[in-house]
Amino acid sequence: MDLSFTPEEQTFRQAVRSFVETKLPADIKQRTLEGRKQSHDDYKRWHRILAEQGWGAGTWPGEYGGPGWGPVEQYIFDEESAAGGAPLLSPFGLKMVGPVIYTFGSDAQKQRFLPRIRSAQDSWCQGYSEPGSGSDLASLKTRAERRGDEYVVNGQKTWITHAQYADYIFCLVRTDPKAKQQAGISFLLIDMKTPGITVRPIVTMDGGKEINEVFFEDVHVPVANRVGEENQGWTYAKFLLGHERTNIAGVAVSKRAIGRLKRIAADERKNGKRLIDDPVFAARIAQLEIELMALEITNLRVVSAEKEKRAPGPEVSLLKIKGTEIQQMLTELMMLARGKAALALDNDADAFRPAAAYCNLRKTSIYGGSNEIQKNIISRIILGL
Q: Annotated active-site positions, please?
A: 244
CA distance 204 to 197: 22
Backbone angles phi, psi at 126, to 5 degrees: -110, 120
Element at 294 (helix H, strand E) = helix 279-307
Backbone angles phi, psi at 292, to 5 degrees: -70, -35
Cα–Cα dist 228/132, whole Å: 26
Measured CA to CA in angstroms, residue 114 lies from 38, 72, 110, 117, 230 at distances of 25, 23, 5, 5, 21
* CA-to-CA separations, 234 to 1, 23, 177, 190, 277, in angstroms, rounded: 33, 40, 14, 17, 51
Per the CB < 8 A criterion, the answer to whether 366 and 245 are in contact is no
Nearest of 211, 199, 240 to residue 362 by alpha carbon: 211
CA gap 273, 62 in Å, rounded: 54
Strand, coil or helix: 231: coil
Q: Measure the CA–CA gap between 212 and 209, rounded to whole angstroms.
A: 7
The answer to whether 319 and 249 have CB atoms below 8 angstroms apart is yes
Q: HSE on the CB side for 379, CA within 13 Å?
A: 7
Class of residue 272 by CB neighbours under 10 A (exposed 0-12, middle 13-18, buried 19+): exposed
- Hey, what amino acid is at 161? T
Compute the distance between CA of residue 4 and CA of residue 320 in angstroms, rounded to an integer: 23
| Phi, then psi, of 234 in degrees rounded to 5 | -65, -35
